Structure 1
Amino acid sequence: MHIGVVDRAPLQKPNELVPSRYAVRIGELEVLVISDGVLPLPTKMLGHNAELADRTAWLDEMFLPREAFDWSLNVALVRSGAQTILIDAGLGFDPDLNLPRAGQLIMRLEAAGVDLASVTDIVLTHMHMDHVGGLIVAGVKERLRPDLRIHVATAEVEFWKSPDFSHTAMPQGFPDALKSAATRFAEEYAGQIQTFEDEYEVAPGVTVQRTGGHTPGHSVVRLASGGDRLTFAGDAVFTVGFDHPDWHNGFEHDPEEAARVRVRLLRELAANGEQLVATHLPFPSVGRVAVEGETFRWVPAFWDY
């Protein structure tokens, strides 16, 4: 897969013993899922409305630690004709949060031979720090093309002018960091942000749709070409959401609406059989959804070498 190849791409860091990119073809669309690293968070964030015993039982069944574990951070790069579209931009770097294993996107794009100047469009599922932070890392904006288009829902931009965290359950420091990152992003890229209301075709076969829930302007990106389909679901779906779609994630600004969005999306994906990628599913997070009684089942794709 060749997307804006640079003359000499650096290798991945020698201590990286796992792959950090995975290519998928959706009809004529080239898709590269890229890991931005991992984000260690308390397990309570998976379902702060659930009983401790229920959360513990689920974690034990999944062979996950009970106190905290690493959330994957996935980003996607899509080539549609002459356009190269980056879906979300990773965490970037916040010195106050001490997250050294996240914010790897720029280095890993370089390792994949992707020149930042080749990116024509960026689609943001929402403006949380782990989705816009990569754009406010020192030196990144100067490497992006001046006619870059950044697509984000109008409701999302408006929300971050005066965000409401009253229904979230985040670790200390995160609300301030989220607000700071969103504000800085909106200021630095004001001239390149292109807003949409509910749905917008970014490129042939690439459509962004607002869902709301997780944040007021949270959106998913639908890819369709040659009968193949894939949805990049952003933060609409978390790993626990298949077994417990009614559990509230700590970052959700409207948890009840987020649960409704999650169930609608999972039902749709189960019915049409299209592939799913989401920000916080285990890398590379490519798979499908099956109905399992009143809940759902995640069916990871077999890796295609």
Structure 2
Amino acid sequence: MSQTKTKPPTLGHQETNMNLDNTVHPGKPGVEELVPSRYAVQIGEIEVLVISDGVLPLPTEMLGHNVDATERAGWLKDRFLPPDAFDWALNVVLVRSGDQTILVDAGLGFDPELNLPRAGQLAKRLEAAGIDLGSVTDLVLTHMHMDHVGGLLVDGVKERLRPDLRIHVAAAEIKFWESPDFSHVHMPPGFPDALRAAAKRFSKDYSGNLRPFDEEQQVAPGVVVSRTGGHTPGHCVVRVASGGDRLMFAGDAVFAVGFEHPDWFNGFEHDPEEAVRVRVRLLRELAETGSLLVATHLPFPSVGHVAVEGDAFRWVPVFWDY
């Protein structure tokens, strides 16, 4: 389905806007959900499906540990959100370009030590959408935090993937996790150990599939992954462009609070000062180009635009297309 430059990208909360011919089990019904967990966007000739991996409840300090608690409380109150915990959305995207099916990030998976039962839903929701893991030709990792690689570590998942699956990840990210620095993060107890363990196991289990790159790599026609650094040294964003339409999957470079307060340090940022610079640069790019934005931790379906609002930015969610 092609788009002209004057026609806006096609959007929809169901996967029926997507062909995904080699990923769907013919005749297999999807599982009905009270709240939709997938949302389709057409970027020119490229099909994008945003899939929710669930939510991750975290202390509100994670929104900005370099500011006073009253400032965080004010931001939450203005949005009618509870003051003590914030549900972080977990989103991944599936991209179809030509004969390639690309999964960007793999969700949290399952870690009983952290007691996060509302997250790690990706495998179930791919199945509900009729998407076969074995049809994925490429996997792009924005970075190697557990909520981006954990879905690959669930029992039985590796056996369902193609043996020749290409996993694209920045070389700087692989290097970082050989001896990670947690001196500037502000995470809840247990998370650093869990992140170390997940990255180590991922590197071991998938060493033969890794396709490291330095700064930028075209994964498929119109699909480019670029290293930004900041959140982690090898953190990346994925830009999708076709027929005049553009979309950026920003991974963990942008959070819900980051539009009005891009200078707030997120608790999971390994280099928070650099992360601020990256965030501002990407938000300016999005505002100037009008590209659609999707990010891991923006509320599902996390599809919208960025506008400039004085010295800060403003998030403009798309109107859902039913």
Instruction: Tell me the TM-score range normalised by the shorter chain.
Output: over 0.9
Q: 1:163 aligned to 2:180?
A: yes
The whole-number CA distance in structure 2 between the counterparts of 1:128 and 1:47 is 19
Matches within 5 A, 1:61-100: 61-100=78-117
- In structure 2, the residue matched to 1:35 is 52
**Deviation string, structure 1 residues 209-241 (Cα, Å, up to 9, x no partner):** 000000000000000000000000000000000
Residue number among 24, 31, 54 corresponding to 1:5 in the alignment: 24
The whole-number CA distance in structure 1 between the counterparts of 2:318 and 2:150 is 29
Name the stretch that deviates more: 51-60 or 234-243. 51-60
The whole-number CA distance in structure 1 between the counterparts of 2:76 and 2:87 is 13
**Deviation string, structure 1 residues 51-75 (Cα, Å, up to 9, x no partner):** 1111111111111111102110000
Residue number among 115, 121, 125 corresponding to 1:104 in the alignment: 121
Q: What amino acid sits opposite 2:25 in the alignment?
A: V
- In structure 2, the residue matched to 1:196 is 213
Matches within 5 A, 1:206-221: 206-221=223-238
- Aligned-pair distance for 1:170? 0.1
The whole-number CA distance in structure 1 between the counterparts of 2:168 and 2:118 is 27
For these two proteins, the number of residue pairs brought into alignment is 303
The whole-number CA distance in structure 1 between the counterparts of 2:64 and 2:296 is 17
TM-score, with structure 2 as normaliser: 0.93
Q: 1:246 aligned to 2:263?
A: yes
The whole-number CA distance in structure 2 between the counterparts of 1:205 and 1:87 is 14
Secondary structure of the corresponding residue to residue 157 of structure 1: helix
The whole-number CA distance in structure 2 between the counterparts of 1:155 and 1:43 is 30
Q: What amino acid sits opposite 2:63 in the alignment?
A: L
Residue number among 216, 236, 240 corresponding to 1:223 in the alignment: 240
- Aligned-pair distance for 1:159? 0.2
- In structure 1, the residue matched to 2:202 is 185
Moved over 2 A (4+): 7-12
- Contact persistence 2:30–2:130 (CA under 8 A): no
Residue number among 220, 237, 258 corresponding to 2:275 in the alignment: 258
Q: 1:142 aligned to 2:159?
A: yes
- Contact persistence 1:211–1:218 (CA under 8 A): yes
TM-score, with structure 1 as normaliser: 0.98
- Contact persistence 2:52–2:90 (CA under 8 A): yes
Q: What amino acid sits opposite 2:68 in the alignment?
A: E
- In structure 1, the residue matched to 2:306 is 289
Structure 1 vs Structure 2 CA RMSD: 0.9
Secondary structure of the corresponding residue to residue 207 of structure 2: coil
Secondary structure of the corresponding residue to residue 201 of structure 1: strand
Secondary structure of the corresponding residue to residue 74 of structure 2: helix
Residue number among 51, 59, 71 corresponding to 1:54 in the alignment: 71
Q: 1:123 aligned to 2:145?
A: no
Q: What amino acid sits opposite 1:162 in the alignment?
A: S
Name the stretch that deviates more: 278-287 or 58-67. 58-67
**Deviation string, structure 1 residues 233-283 (Cα, Å, up to 9, x no partner):** 000000000010000000000000000000000011001101000000000
Secondary structure of the corresponding residue to residue 96 of structure 2: strand
Secondary structure of the corresponding residue to residue 181 of structure 1: helix
Ranges in structure 1 where 5+ consecutive residues have no aligned partner: none
Q: Give identity over the alignment, percent.
A: 75
- Aligned-pair distance for 1:10? 5.6
